[in-house]
């Protein structure tokens, strides 16, 4: 059962949290708040946003407490992660999933936030949103297509076709067919790291989405092969590939390219595969829900949400 959050409305207060890496400068919290203000929202930074603990934004307990506090606060309508980096996996066993299920709210982020997407989708029945964060360039710098997609997804959430912004190449099929299932996934590196834990990706009957950045093709191969050996492509309904920013071989390195990796590792599963969704570490960047049903039609080159993510 889905615990759909309410659609955001102008004037709503959005909680700002840093569940992963630390900020370069505590003043960046004000930058994110100002950006949300330009979009018509109030903001409430978590107590731990300005903390630092090595490469983390504060100790694990502080980061988990911020997330739980935002779900508990009736004045907070939605939760915006400030940035990724690393660290969300370290707090998965400290998240109050029952609290999140009882108080469903919009939560948006990507990259390392994939750990929270997986856990909240599976343990709280909460649809979450893969999209730019409070300190992501597409929002801070006002990229029109990224901003429009972000606002539309979080304030409307109606079913409809996920299409790349004008000027971007259309989705393309790597393997034909039609499949239906709930969208699940995010950053490939994080997904692979959850295998063998209680929070690993449940691929059964789902449409799996993957993206990544700065990973050479052999590393992408290794992580996809790990998922293949874990049965994830056997169990899934279909696969959607997003952006692969700077996932290229080193100069002069003997290598397969990503298309060859995808053909050799993914296509033998016999599932429909669409590539080229403008989502991940890219600009412009789409915002879309994870945890809701969609139809992937590789023959037509379309991906369509068939249920609302928002109440």
Specify the DSSP class assigned to residue 42: E
Measured distance CA(46)–CA(51) in Å, rounded: 10
Structure tokens belonging to residue 33: 């708040």
A 10 A CB-CB count for 269 gives 17
CA angle (62 as vertex; 61, 65 as ends), nearest 5: 85
Structure tokens belonging to residue 267: 């296509």
Alpha carbon separation from 268 to 42, 174, 228, 263, 264 (Å, rounded): 49, 11, 10, 8, 7
> Which one is catalytic: 43, 189, 200, 281?
281
> Which one is catalytic: 111, 136, 146, 308?
111
Q: Locate tokens 């709210």: which residue?
A: 105
Structure tokens belonging to residue 207: 């449409």
Helix (H, G, I), strand (E, B) or coil at 44: strand
Structure tokens belonging to residue 17: 């949290």
pLDDT of residue 157: 74
Measured distance CA(79)–CA(219) in Å, rounded: 32
Domains of the chain: 13-155 (3.40.50.10740), 160-305 (3.50.30.60)
Region class of 187: left (phi > 0), else alpha (psi between -120 and 50), else beta? beta
Structure tokens belonging to residue 141: 């710098």
Active site residue 146: no
- pLDDT by position in tens, the chain (length 311): 899 999 999 999 999 999 999 999 999 999 999 999 999 999 999 999 999 999 999 999 999 999 999 999 999 999 999 999 999 999 999 999 999 999 999 999 999 999 999 999 999 999 999 999 999 999 999 999 999 999 999 999 789 999 999 999 999 999 999 999 999 999 999 999 999 999 999 999 999 999 999 999 999 999 999 999 999 999 999 999 999 999 999 999 999 999 999 999 999 999 999 999 999 999 999 999 999 999 999 999 999 999 999 99
Q: Locate tokens 């929202």: which residue?
A: 41
Active site residue 53: no
Query: Could you check whether the bond before residue 284 is cis, i.e. omega within 30 degrees of 0?
Result: yes
Asked if residue 261 lies in contact with residue 230, where contact means CB atoms within 8 angstroms, the answer is no
pLDDT of residue 161: 96
Active site residue 281: yes
pLDDT of residue 158: 82
Exposed, middle or buried, 42 (CB in 10 Å: 0-12/13-18/19+)? middle
> Which one is catalytic: 130, 200, 211, 308?
211
- Nearest by Cα to 155 from 10, 292, 304: 10
pLDDT of residue 89: 98
Helix (H, G, I), strand (E, B) or coil at 120: helix
Region class of 11: left (phi > 0), else alpha (psi between -120 and 50), else beta? left
Specify the DSSP class assigned to residue 22: P
């Amino acid at each position: 059962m889905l615990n759909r959050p309410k659609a955001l409305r102008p004037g709503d207060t959005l909680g700002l949290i840093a569940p992963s890496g630390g900020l370069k400068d505590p003043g960046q919290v004000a930058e994110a708040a100002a950006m949300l203000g330009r979009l018509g929202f109030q903001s409430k930074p978590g107590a731990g946003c300005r903390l630092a603990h090595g490469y983390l934004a504060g100790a694990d307990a502080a980061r988990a407490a911020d997330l739980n506090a935002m779900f508990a606060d009736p004045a907070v309508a939605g939760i915006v992660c400030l940035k990724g980096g690393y660290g969300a996996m370290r707090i998965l066993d400290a998240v109050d999933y029952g609290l999140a299920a009882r108080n469903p709210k919009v939560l948006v982020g990507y990259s390392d936030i994939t750990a929270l997407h997986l856990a909240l989708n599976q343990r709280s029945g909460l649809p979450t949103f893969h999209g730019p964060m409070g300190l992501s360039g597409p929002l801070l710098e006002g990229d029109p297509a990224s901003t429009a997609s972000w606002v539309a997804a979080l304030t409307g959430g109606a079913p409809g076709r996920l299409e790349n912004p004008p000027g971007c190449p259309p989705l393309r099929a790597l393997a034909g067919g039609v499949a239906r299932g709930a969208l699940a996934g995010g950053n490939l590196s994080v997904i692979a790291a959850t295998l063998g834990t209680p929070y690993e990706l449940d691929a059964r009957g789902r449409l799996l989405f993957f993206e990544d950045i700065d990973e050479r093709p052999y590393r992408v191969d290794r992580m996809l092969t790990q998922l293949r050996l874990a049965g994830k492509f056997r169990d899934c309904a279909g696969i959607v590939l997003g952006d692969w920013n700077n996932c290229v071989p080193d100069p002069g390195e003997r290598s397969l390219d990503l298309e060859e990796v995808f053909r050799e590792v993914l296509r033998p599963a016999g599932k429909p595969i669409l590539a080229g969704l403008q989502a991940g570490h890219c600009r412009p960047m789409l915002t879309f829900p994870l945890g809701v049903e969609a139809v992937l039609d590789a023959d037509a080159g379309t991906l369509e949400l068939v249920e609302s993510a928002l109440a």
